[in-house]
Chain A
């Protein structure tokens, strides 16, 4: 079975600073990996996804993530934080093939706070 661990339930950065949100996964088969963002009392919006093409994936709003198989990681980064980036971020994994029926397994979420 696959699982996802997000290190740090809360991350705080200053506006203009680097954003780094950590995600590690476990999967016995090649995974598809996703990052979603959730603003308060709203649904989840897809930021980016890794589907075994390029290991560096660029998403919306200036975010990107790098798939590192040796480290089983898929950390999310943004060079310069903006106040509007304050939200909760979820990493998710889906296994390829099999009978998973597209099931996503989510991490616990990381709340990003951006200080002026």
Chain B
């Protein structure tokens, strides 16, 4: 089955700790995205990557870092600099181009602070 997997489903972070959220896709998509979801605020873009070994900051990149060493994988690290990390994190990948372009989402990771 093709799709996007995110792990873990729930993640707990202690103060001052860096944590990494996993996102893997076997859809052969070039572009991948990380969004943060807070109640009543919709989704906000953290980082995106159009191709392997390249990524760009989104609207709320401060306190986060990413890497894109493989086409299939786009992990997100929530650093200790992110003072309000509690949120639902969604990874997406993009299919098609132009009119056919569509983003597909993984099941999400909920990050909680201890």
A-B CB contacts (within 8 Å), total count: 60
Q: Which one of B42, B50, B90, B102 contacts A108 once the chains associate, using CB atoms below 8 Å?
A: B42
Interface size on B, residues (CB 8 A): 30
Name the contact of B103 in the complex, choosing from A53, A96, A102, A109 (C-beta under 8 A). A102
Contact check, B48 vs A101: say whether CB atoms are below 8 A apart.
Answer: yes
Q: Can you name 8 A-B residue pairings with CB atoms under 8 Å? A: A32-B101, A34-B102, A41-B110, A42-B108, A96-B98, A104-B43, A106-B44, A109-B42
Residue B100 CB within 8 A of the other chain? yes
Give B80-110 interface residues, CB cut-off 8 Å to A: 88, 90, 92, 94, 98-108, 110
Partner-B contacts on A (CB < 8 A): 4, 9, 32, 34, 36, 41-46, 49, 51-53, 90, 94, 96, 101-104, 106-109
Nearest CB on A from B36, distance (A)? 11
Task: Give the docked Cα–Cα distance between A81 and B27 (Å).
Answer: 33
CB distance from B93 to the nearest CB of A (A): 10
